[in-house]
Structure 1
Amino acid sequence: MRLSTSWMYQQSTSTMLSQQATLAATQNQVSTGKRINVASDDPAGAGQMVSLGHILAANGQYSSNIDSANTRLSTEQTTLSSVGNLLDSARSTALQGINGVLSSSDRAGMATQLSQLREQLVQMANTSDSNGNALFAGTSTTAAPFVQGAGGSVSYAGNDSVLMAAVGPGLKVPTSDAGSAVFMNIPAGNGSFTASAGIANTGTLVVGENTVSDPVAWNAASAASGGGYAISFGANGSWTAADANGNPVLDGSGNPVGGTYQDGGSISFNGLSISMSGTPAAGDTVNVKSGGTQDIFATLDNMIAALRSNGSSTDLSNSLNRQIESLDQTQSVVTSTSVSIGGRINTINQQQAAYQDLGVTYKDTLSGVRDVDVYTAISNLSSQSAALQASQQVFAQVKSMTLFNYIK
């Protein structure tokens, strides 16, 4: 077979160019530390890199969302802790106000303390997060969800929705609580009903703690009666009860409920129990009303008004007892909200830990696909450089081999 000089030149040149390209690629791997710099280096590996990059980017965004959610929830939890402490102070002040030996000036001073606590509570309810967004406005953009009117009453300008943060594929966590649920729509009384002394009472009867002693009986009786009762007292503490329609309340045998009240005792029927103290006068009443709500600001307003009223010790005790019940309901809501926030923080912290572990795994996988073994690359660079030099030296020898040199 005849080999032309031009063919040998072309073959040598192609070989050297191929070796130079391989050497350049290896040099690029050594300088960048990456095995895949362009998709053509390894199409399958490049596709895997893109997929891993998307996963890492999504996890990074979820982690960022978790950090923001954690900051907001922690701020809310701290605020609610301060609210709880404030309510404890208000409750202690109200209990002191029931003390019958206090003077009018003492009670006026307590009313002033409660007024200051009320102002602080409005400020706490309008607390903003690190981005300047109100914590308790729901999804509203209003800066101050709780607004005081000209008469001092507080209204809610936010909404009842809650902000949500995406912390995982298909997983969202609430990062706020609507102020209407925390401060405004608080169940009245003990949460099931309110028992209050009649306004026209002339005796010294004070309505104390009241509870649902039998939920089944209470629910059944409330459904039938509308949840309202009037307890009427006769001479020597005798009492009877009527439902919201004025019909006598009957026991299981069909007889009207009733009895004789003793100072410090209680009255129970239809699943409810009402503790009392003092002596009722004939014609005095206790009214039972189920349902209803009362916001915490109105509760504090009612406490302040009671302390400033200069009414009788009996009236003051009855008024403050009812407001303490409402305050306790608010404290219960604040506590349950704080517990809920703690659960949410625990959830997102666990999710964050999972992303940190997954991040290490995905980055290791990405490195295995994308990065080059530096020691192998350096070894390849050395051998490829030597091969190229050898090819160049061979070509230098071959190019001088011609027929004219032979004849010479």
Structure 2
Amino acid sequence: MRISTAWMYQQSVNTMLNQQDALDESENQVSTGNAINVASDNPTGAAQIVGLNHILAQNTQYASNMTAANTRLSTESSTLSSVSNLLNSINDVGLSAMNGAMSSSDLNNMATELEQYRDQLVQLANTTDANGQALFSGTSTTTTPFVTNSTTGAITYTGNDQQSYSSIGTGLQIANGDPGSSVFMNIPAGNGSFVTAAGASNTGTLVVGATSVTDTSAFQAATASGPINDTITFGANGTYAVTDAAGNPVDDSSGNPITGTYTAGGAISFDGMSITMSGTPASGDTVNVQSDTASNTQSVFTTINNMITALQSGESSTALNNTLNGQLQSLNQAMSSVSNTEVAVGSRISTLQQQQSNYSDLSVTYQSALSDVQNVDMATAISNLSLQSTALQASQQVFAKIQGTSLFDYLQG
């Protein structure tokens, strides 16, 4: 077999080129710290790197969303706490106003105090987060949700009823705010189950006090065929009878008309409801009872405005106390609404903290997996670099020696 000089040269050159490529790859690995710099280095590993980087990018975005949601919810929690304290102060003013010793001047001063509280409440309800987005406007976060009519003092809601959400994981979202309509506006009147109101033309000293549902089964049975809209009408010496909206007698569970005699400071109970009262009713005085709380809703701002109007009206002590008692019941419902929202917000913050902890652990796991695939073993890479450099130099020296050798050199030797 004849081996040509050209073939021998080409083989030597190819060997040196291959060694040079291997050396370049090792130098690249040492300089970048990456085992894979182009997909051709390791196609399978390169695909793993792309997938892991995509997951890590998603996790980074979720972490950012969780941080923003946590900040927003923390602001909401703090705001609701301030609202709760403010409503407690309003409740205290209402209770103090039912002191028969208060003069009209005192009552007017209390009305002025409530106006200031109302304005503070509007300001709190319009609180924005760190990005200037309203907390209580639903998804309409760039809108100022509560607007005050400068003439009447009425407050209107300009946001929407939807809840805004943040994506905190694959297929997982969490509410990052609450619409003001549910927190401040659509508050059930009365005790949340039914509403009572003393007749506007009453002439006695009867004051309607606390009300409650004492027998849920009886109350549900009474409302099964429709909302209650009954009237308690008093006769002489505290006797009373209950009639429906058409003026027909209302029967008890035994089919007997509901009647009785009221004792000052006692309660009247029927259809699972209990209504405490004080004072003495005059013959013909009435108390209306309605269970249609879905249509009997009012905003906390309306409740406060009703209290202000009552304090400024110069009504008799009996009429004022009846009005304030009714409004304080509605105020208690508003306080419950705020408290329930606080609990919900606290639960969301807890969920976020748990999710943040989970994603922090996952990120460490994915970063470790990425490092295993992408990062080069530096000790091995440097060792390979040294060996490949030595091998290349040896090949170059051998080639140089062979290149300078001829047949005449062989014959002379």
- Specify the TM-score bucket, using the shorter chain as the normaliser: over 0.9
The answer to whether residue 400 in structure 2 is matched with residue 396 in structure 1 is yes
| Structure 1 position 253, deviation (Å) | 2.3
Structure 2 CA distance, aligned partners of 1:259 and 1:66?
Answer: 61
> Which residue pairs with 2:122 in the alignment?
122
| Structure 1 position 80, deviation (Å) | 0.9
Deviations 1:378-404 (A, max 9, x none): 111111111111111211221122102
CA contact (8 A) 1:210 1:272 kept: yes
Deviations 1:222-265 (A, max 9, x none): 23363111001111111111112211111222211111111110
Q: Which moved more, 1:101-110 or 1:321-330?
A: 101-110
Give the 5 Å matches for 1:248-327. 248-290=249-291, 291=293, 292-327=296-331
Which letter maps to 1:104? S
Match of 1:224, SS?
coil
Structure 2 CA distance, aligned partners of 1:248 and 1:133?
Answer: 55
* Structure 1 unaligned regions, length at least 5: none
> Which residue pairs with 1:54 in the alignment?
54
Q: Which moved more, 1:39-48 or 1:386-395?
A: 386-395
| Structure 1 position 8, deviation (Å) | 1.6
> Which residue pairs with 2:17 in the alignment?
17
Structure 1 CA distance, aligned partners of 2:226 and 2:20?
Answer: 97
The answer to whether residue 335 in structure 2 is matched with residue 335 in structure 1 is no
Would the alpha carbon gap of residues 246 and 105 (structure 1) be closer, same or farther in structure 2, given more than 3 Å must change? Answer: same
Which letter maps to 1:15? T
| Structure 1 position 309, deviation (Å) | 1.6
Q: Which moved more, 1:269-278 or 1:216-225?
A: 216-225
Structure 2 CA distance, aligned partners of 1:204 and 1:114?
Answer: 26
Which letter maps to 1:171? L
Deviations 1:346-385 (A, max 9, x none): 1122111111111000010001001100011111111111
* % identical aligned pairs: 59
Match of 1:101, SS?
coil
> Which residue pairs with 1:190 in the alignment?
191
Q: Which moved more, 1:71-80 or 1:367-376?
A: 71-80
Would the alpha carbon gap of residues 143 and 224 (structure 1) be closer, same or farther in structure 2, given more than 3 Å must change? Answer: closer
Match of 1:323, SS?
helix
Structure 2 CA distance, aligned partners of 1:210 and 1:125?
Answer: 29
Deviations 1:176-222 (A, max 9, x none): 11111111110000001111111111111110000111122112212
TM-score, normalized by length of structure 2? 0.96
> Which residue pairs with 1:199 in the alignment?
200
Aligned length: 408
Which letter maps to 1:322? G
CA contact (8 A) 2:143 2:158 kept: no
Structure 2 CA distance, aligned partners of 1:227 and 1:71?
Answer: 45
> Which residue pairs with 2:224 in the alignment?
223
The match for 1:405 among 369, 386, 409 is 409
> Which residue pairs with 1:384 in the alignment?
388
Structure 1 CA distance, aligned partners of 2:389 and 2:226?
Answer: 99
Match of 1:61, SS?
helix
Which letter maps to 1:353? S
Structure 2 CA distance, aligned partners of 1:405 and 1:250?
Answer: 134
Would the alpha carbon gap of residues 58 and 225 (structure 1) be closer, same or farther in structure 2, given more than 3 Å must change? Answer: closer
> Which residue pairs with 1:181 in the alignment?
182
Structure 1 CA distance, aligned partners of 2:225 and 2:33?
Answer: 80
> Which residue pairs with 1:169 in the alignment?
170
Structure 1 CA distance, aligned partners of 2:197 and 2:71?
Answer: 43
Structure 2 CA distance, aligned partners of 1:308 and 1:258?
Answer: 37
Match of 1:229, SS?
strand
Structure 2 CA distance, aligned partners of 1:238 and 1:406?
Answer: 142
CA contact (8 A) 1:192 1:212 kept: yes
Structure 2 CA distance, aligned partners of 1:407 and 1:289?
Answer: 127
Structure 2 CA distance, aligned partners of 1:5 and 1:254?
Answer: 124
Structure 2 CA distance, aligned partners of 1:50 and 1:142?
Answer: 38
> Which residue pairs with 1:369 in the alignment?
373
CA contact (8 A) 1:222 1:228 kept: no
Deviations 1:312-367 (A, max 9, x none): 21111111111110110001001111111111111122111111111000010001
Structure 1 CA distance, aligned partners of 2:253 and 2:141?
Answer: 55
> Which residue pairs with 1:351 in the alignment?
355
Structure 2 CA distance, aligned partners of 1:310 and 1:401?
Answer: 126
| Structure 1 position 95, deviation (Å) | 0.5
> Which residue pairs with 2:157 in the alignment?
156
Structure 1 CA distance, aligned partners of 2:256 and 2:4?
Answer: 129
Deviations 1:127-172 (A, max 9, x none): 1111111111111244311112232211111111111111111111
Which letter maps to 2:240? W
CA contact (8 A) 2:143 2:159 kept: no
Structure 1 CA distance, aligned partners of 2:19 and 2:226?
Answer: 98
CA contact (8 A) 1:225 1:243 kept: no
TM-score, normalized by length of structure 1? 0.98
